[in-house]
Amino acid sequence: MLADERRKLDWIRAQLPSASQQVFFDVAACGPLPRCSVATLARCLEAELTRGREALCCDRQFLDAIERWRQRLARWLGARPRELLFTTGSDDAIATVLGGRCWREDEEIITSTHERADLLGTLSMLHAHTGVTIRRVPISGDSVRDRALLAAAISPRTRLVALSHVSHLDGTLCDVAGLASVCRAERVPMFVDGSQAVGALPVRVDRLSVDLYAAPGHRWLCAPEGSGLLYVREGQCARWTERLPALARGPAPFRPLTRAWIAAFDLLEQIGWSWIFERTAALTEQARAMLESLPGVRVVSPARSAPGVVSLHLDRPAEDVQADLAAEGIVARALQGAPLLRISLGFYNDDSDLQQLYAALLRYARPPRRLPCAA
């Protein structure tokens, strides 16, 4: 690593203490908080404590700030400001979209076979309460195959296609633009959960041509929990407000949290988005190559998976491995419902993090089998 690159990385890790005081490989669950974000949150809360609060509708300074923030996010995502709504996270966005219309027994929603519990749980509840049919398609990341499967699955009853941009299980990268073209041809709106995409790889909703796209702030954007957004393509909003008229406004923002999110975004922008995306992708490939060299450790993430996620299958229960790693100061994630250990890397990780992970996983590596000697 070049000296300038090393100095930049040292500075970044100093801004994200939790990523330098431990070996942190769990950004797919919750990213490290920056110092600036915590300082901003504390300062805003102290101001509210000592100087009091005024009604949000009268806080012109904040209302102006949040509109500038909306415009800034819209430029970054390739959206119009009026198409962005603030949420408390992707689960809030999922509930908003799925609860935003009246569903009937003769209708159906199509999703994939590897979705997060937030989406699957909401879909299951929706089916129980309304009778709407939920169909699951095995999206694999193979663009041609996936488009054919989706086209075959869509029927006159289909009212929505809802799936993840990137699988939380193994990093499978969905061809969102290709699947969106299938949905457009069938006149079916498409909702995408970008929980494992936004901040890990470049996302432009104008190029994806989706109708609805959700993203949390607390994962790859390193913002506090309770931050997030929902993109609703112009012309779609009225379609999703049969039961939730407040969708047109979004929830009332928590002012200190919003300013803390802006501070985190400022830091990432200062670091540089191109650098962040390139480094995350390079680290992912480096980690993959390193882990594939361990006998008895099987990398299950597809070869062309999204940056940031490398999932492993080991001979021991993933929960036990997670606990063993935690005892050594290494944070990784055993996935519930799947015998996998997920390693999720961020731009702040360095070679020493990967080396410590490799050394810790060596104990689970099986020695190569020896062929019996000829008599």
pLDDT 10s digits, 16-34: 999 999 999 999 999 999 9
**Mean pLDDT value of segment 166-170:** 96
Tokens standing for residue 205: 């909703």
Which pLDDT does position 375 carry in this prediction?
Answer: 46
Which pLDDT does position 251 carry in this prediction?
Answer: 57
Query: What pTM, to 2 d.p., does this model score?
Result: 0.93
CB atoms within 10 A of CB 203: 20
Distance, CA of 143 to CA of 204 (rounded, Å): 18
Distance, CA of 182 to CA of 363 (rounded, Å): 47
Residue 47: what residue type?
A: A
Distance, CA of 60 to CA of 17 (rounded, Å): 34
Residue 65, pLDDT above cutoff 90:
yes
Tokens standing for residue 206: 């104008």
Q: What is the DSSP string of 126-176?
A: HHHHH--EEEEE---S-HHHHHHHHHHH--TTEEEEEEESB-TTT-PBP-H
Residue 199: what residue type?
A: G
Which pLDDT does position 313 carry in this prediction?
Answer: 93
**Mean pLDDT value of segment 101-112:** 95
Q: Tell me the torsion sign for CA atoms 103, 106, 109, 114.
A: positive
Q: Which of 107-116, 211-220, 358-367 has the lowest mean pLDDT?
A: 358-367
Kindly list the structural domains of the chain, giving each domain's residue range(s) and its CATH number in brackets, ordered by start: 3-34+271-364 (3.90.1150.10), 38-268 (3.40.640.10)
Best-predicted range by mean pLDDT (2-6, 51-55, 98-102, 184-188):
184-188
CB 322 within 8 A of CB 333: yes
Per-residue pLDDT tens for 311-350?
999 888 999 999 999 999 999 999 987 789 999 999 999 9
